[in-house]
């Protein structure tokens, strides 16, 4: 029997893999108790598993819990902290910080609402981070090793390594499987910038362990993570410079929508240097100087801390994928077909390791597909998913379905209905009217093919459109749906009304005028 705990996090949390546990205060100790108990003893396998799951992030946890709930004999392997990126170094800590940043921003504009707050608003960063650690520790109980053990799942802590087409080793124990799921996630990509590694930088794996607010912060990467954290740190009081290679931030989003967010970041004091190439980083003492090449011009930005958020690299190394006969690509990750099966028909994959849509809800949705297809001859397809996503800046920017350019590429002709949030009463009353809604429908019909929304709570609101797309309800149905007044979701009804007006052709209008004249 294997009695020695494997990969036990060090008592002081000082191991690169367990940096999320720094500082090791009472909340991070609680997180550790849930996510990787020091005294954990791996079980002893008793025969072949229906399903072995590699990785206890969202994709792995949802697959394991779902399969065990349906009666499968399941093993779950995690080398680091259960809960994966989302809980430990992703969604949960970032959204906790963003909430505090919003409180600071609201306090600063309180005078607009007739509320007086004496003196300058300042942020107690130590309290912000402690609140984040407390909430993360509380939430971690959902993903705890003991909770999954209580579901009847054999939880193994250690590195999973395929040793063949139907076997995996973990911490000196061999597991045989009928089916396996690779849900090993992704990590921060390291950009090849001269001098960056030597100068030292933070990623999402280390930034949430800060105990002091950086006075000057450079964020390299203008994607969702870079934008969210730039704005949050600027609102905390850091002098933030956001450096991106594309001409604008959030370059995958609708350009008009992304421009609203860019303007908002600038209003919060973020200096945006986009469209340049980071040529080099130099360190002198505690200062780091970033040299940016921009249109032949060389700019230098000197800061105390650099945060890098330039994309995610799938965790394909060290899994023994070759031994398992699983094809993969270092950048795109594990190759899967539409049913999420890899090149080894016994092995499936889900989550960040095999999709470009690196979101928690995608990982969750893919896990549900895997359960059906791997265990029950299901035919569920990833391409059938209607995936929304949201970047939690202020205002938020959320999207579902096709962008205008995707529709063009796919040869779909569209009509677009645009609503400004300044024309929606509730947004105006809330002082949250800097936003817009764009809904794309198949030309001449009300069938929604995509939508982008910039609004304070766009992430909450986008589900109405996702549901519409999922259920085949068109813009005409949104027009008929009664929305409580005043709500920001009335923007959808307005888009529906705008569509309905297009139905009123001159011919139909002329007929109605004649009919009403006859009724007089
Ligand atoms: C800063 C940040 C903010 C984010 N915010 C959001 C958000 O607001 N909303 C959203 O939807 N998404 C967000 N995401 C993305 C989200 O965190 C990921 O999409 C999600 O965590 C993917 O889940 P996963 O299960 O695929 O992978 P992970 O969560 O990465 O889990 C994979 C697990 O596998 C383990 N593992 C890897 N290799 C092995 C091995 N050999 N043996 C055993 N275990 C192994 C890892 O330790 C890890 O625990 C954010 C990400 C970041 C970085």
Nearest ligand 1 atom to alpha carbon 85: 29
What is the spatial distance between Cα 351 and Cα 345, in angstroms, rounded to a whole number? 18
Residue nearest to atom 51 of ligand 1 (CA): 90
Please report, rounded to a whole number, the percentage of residues in the chain having pLDDT higher than 70.
Answer: 97
Per the model's pLDDT, the better-predicted residue between 232 and 190 turns out to be 232
Ligand 1 mean position, distance from CA 310 (Å): 16
Both tokens of 243, joined, read 């450096």
Query: Rounded to a whole number, what is the largest CA-CA distance in the chain?
Result: 92
Q: What is the pLDDT of residues 147-169, one digit of tens each?
A: 999 999 999 999 999 999 999 99
Output the residue whose Cα is nearest ligand 1's atom 12: 359
pTM check: above 0.85: yes
- Angle CA(353)–CA(358)–CA(359) in degrees, nearest 5? 125
pLDDT digits (tens, 9 = 90+) for 506-518: 888 889 999 999 9
Query: What's the CA-to-centroid distance between 261 and ligand 1, angstroms?
Result: 25
What is the model's pLDDT at position 126? Answer: 98
Cβ-contact 424, 436 below 8 angstroms: no
List C-alpha distances in Å: 6 to 40, 148, 154, 180, 469: 8, 18, 15, 21, 46
* Mean pLDDT, residues 418-434: 97
Q: Bridge partners of 243?
A: 220, 273
Per the DSSP assignment, residues forming a β-bridge with 180 are 52, 347
Predicted pLDDT of residue 11: 57
The preferred substitution site among 19, 54, 57, 316 for testing ligand 1, maximizing ligand atoms within 8 Å of CB, is 57
| Average pLDDT over the chain, rounded to an integer | 95
Between CA 407 and CA 32 the distance in angstroms is: 46
- Indicate if the pLDDT at residue 291 is higher than 90: yes
pLDDT at 225: 97
Residue closest by Cα to atom 7 of ligand 1:
91
From CA 53, how far away is CA 76, in angstroms rounded?
5
Model pLDDT, residue 1: 36
Mean pLDDT of 304-310: 97
Nearest CA to ligand 1 atom 35: 55
What is the rounded distance in angstroms from the CA atom of residue 112 to the CA atom of residue 492? 27
Of 56-60, 240-244, 308-312, 507-511, least confident by mean pLDDT is 507-511
Tell me how far apart the alpha carbons of residues 367 and 351 are, in angstroms, rounded to a whole number: 7
Residues with CB under 6 A from ligand 1: 54-60, 77-80, 84-86, 90-91, 94-95, 159-160, 183-186, 204, 225, 315, 318-319, 351-352, 358-361, 363, 392
Per-residue tokens: 462 = 């986008």
Is the predicted pLDDT of residue 5 greater than 60, yes or no?
A: no
Q: How confident is the model at residue 47 (pLDDT cuts 50, 70, 90)?
A: very high
Whether the predicted pLDDT of 468 surpasses 60: yes
Mean pLDDT within 168-195: 96
**pLDDT tens per residue across span 232-287:** 999 999 999 999 988 899 999 999 999 999 999 999 999 999 887 888 999 999 99
> pLDDT tens-digit profile of 344-395?
999 999 999 999 999 999 999 999 999 999 999 889 999 999 999 999 999 9
274 compared with 170, residue with greater pLDDT: 170
Minimal-distance CA residue to ligand 1 atom 48: 84
Q: What angle do CA 505, 508, 511 make, to 5 degrees?
A: 150
Say what the pLDDT of residue 17 is. 60
Structure tokens at 490: 């009335």
């Amino acid at each position: 029997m294997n009695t020695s705990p494997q990969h036990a996090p060090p008592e002081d949390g000082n191991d690169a893999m367990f940096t999320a546990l720094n500082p090791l205060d009472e909340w991070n100790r609680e997180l550790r108790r849930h996510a990787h108990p020091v005294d954990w003893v791996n079980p002893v396998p008793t025969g072949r598993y229906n399903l072995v799951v590699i990785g206890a992030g969202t994709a792995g946890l949802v697959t394991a819990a779902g399969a065990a709930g349906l009666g499968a004999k399941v093993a779950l392997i995690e080398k680091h902290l259960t809960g994966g990126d989302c809980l430990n170094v992703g969604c949960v800590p970032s959204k906790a910080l963003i909430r505090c940043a919003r409180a600071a921003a609201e306090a600063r504009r309180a005078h607009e609402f007739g509320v007086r707050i004496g003196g300058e608003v300042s942020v107690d960063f130590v309290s912000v981070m402690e609140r984040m650690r407390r909430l993360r520790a509380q939430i971690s109980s959902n993903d705890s090793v003991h909770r999954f053990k209580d579901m009847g799942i054999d939880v193994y802590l250690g590195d999973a390594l395929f040793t063949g087409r139907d076997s995996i080793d973990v911490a000196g124990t061999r597991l045989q499987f009928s089916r396996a799921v690779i849900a090993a996630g992704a990590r921060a990509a390291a950009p090849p910038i001269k001098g960056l590694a030597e100068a030292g930088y933070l990623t999402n794996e280390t930034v949430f362990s800060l105990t002091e607010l950086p006075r000057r912060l450079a964020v390299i990467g203008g994607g969702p993570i870079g934008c969210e954290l730039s704005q949050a740190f600027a609102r905390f009081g850091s002098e933030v410079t956001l450096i991106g290679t594309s001409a604008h931030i959030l370059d995958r989003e609708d350009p008009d929508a992304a421009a609203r967010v860019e303007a908002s970041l600038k209003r919060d004091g973020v200096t945006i240097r986009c469209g340049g190439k980071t040529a080099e980083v130099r360190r002198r003492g505690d200062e780091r100087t970033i040299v940016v090449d921009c249109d032949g011009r060389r700019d230098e930005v000197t800061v105390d801390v650099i945060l890098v958020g330039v994309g995610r690299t799938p965790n394909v190394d060290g899994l023994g994928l070759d031994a398992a006969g699983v094809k993969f690509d270092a950048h795109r990750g594990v190759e899967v077909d539409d049913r999420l099966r890899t090149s080894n028909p016994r092995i499936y994959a889900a989550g960040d390791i095999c999709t470009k849509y690196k979101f928690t809800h995608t990982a969750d949705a893919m896990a549900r597909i895997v359960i059906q297809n791997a265990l029950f001859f299901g035919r569920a397809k990833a391409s059938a998913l209607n995936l929304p996503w949201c970047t939690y800046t202020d205002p938020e920017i959320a999207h579902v379905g096709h962008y205008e350019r995707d529709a063009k590429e796919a040869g779909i002709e569209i009509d677009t209905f645009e609503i400004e949030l300044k024309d929606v009463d509730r947004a105006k009353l809330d002082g949250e009217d800097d936003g817009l809604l764009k809904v794309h429908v198949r030309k001449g019909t009300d069938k929604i093919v995509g939508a982008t929304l910039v609004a304070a709570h766009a992430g909450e609101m986008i589900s109405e459109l996702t549901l519409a797309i999922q259920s085949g309800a068109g813009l005409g149905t949104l027009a008929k749906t009664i929305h409580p007044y005043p709500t920001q979701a009335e923007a959808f009804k307005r888009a529906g009304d705008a569509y309905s007006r297009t139905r009123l052709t001159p011919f139909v209008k002329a007929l109605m005028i004649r009919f009403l004249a006859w009724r007089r």
